[in-house]
Amino acid sequence: VLDEHLPPDRRSRIRVTGFDGAKWCRYERACFDFILLDAPCSAERHVLADNTALSRWTPARVRNLAVRQWSLLSGAWLLLRPGGRLVYSTCALAPAENSGVVERLCKKYPGSRISFPADGFFSRQPLSALTPEFCSAGVRFLPDRSAGSGPIFFSVLDKPPEPANGPAKNTGV
């Protein structure tokens, strides 16, 4: 799919792997400038159209997915270089899978910063049909307010750059 939609010069800069994103940080750190994490989620959109999806939806499943999302997001954060940007997204409604996971990351890594799109960003086509709802941890689109699109949640997280004198040294204290 990437080969079909990306110019060769951009495709050559993208690394696709089969590694478990939650475990990859055990082997590498700070190796990516940008990370897009489209996390597995409860996908309530499918509940509207598929009765089997409704039968699988439970509060326990949401909790389990939030645990998996936290593993993926915290692992991705460790893979992100200082000064890098991470986009976290789901198609879930549950705050536990959206703002809950992002806020937990911000609490654990105090230098992290949530960025919001610039004014006018959503007025461009085809985004103008969507009505964003801004929350403390990101942006969400709900189907009843976005021409049937959604639910979609995303958060743009910026990792602080290293200080000019390099990474902090462990003094052993």
**Residue 119 marked ligand-binding:** no
Please report where in the chains the tokens 């003094």 appear, as a residue: 171
| Paired sense of beta strands 113-115 and 133-135, if any | unpaired
Considering Cα of 120, then 158, then 133, then 65, what sign does the dihedral take? positive
Catalytic residue among 25, 91, 106, 135: 91
pTM: 0.84
**Residue 33 marked ligand-binding:** no
Question: pLDDT tens digit string along 58-93?
Answer: 999 999 999 999 999 999 999 999 999 999 999 999
Annotated domain spans of the chain: 28-158
Question: pLDDT tens digit string along 98-157?
Answer: 999 999 999 999 899 999 887 777 777 677 777 888 999 999 988 887 777 779 999 999
Domain at 28-158, CATH class: alpha beta
Question: pLDDT tens digit string along 20-51?
Answer: 889 988 989 999 999 999 999 998 878 777 88
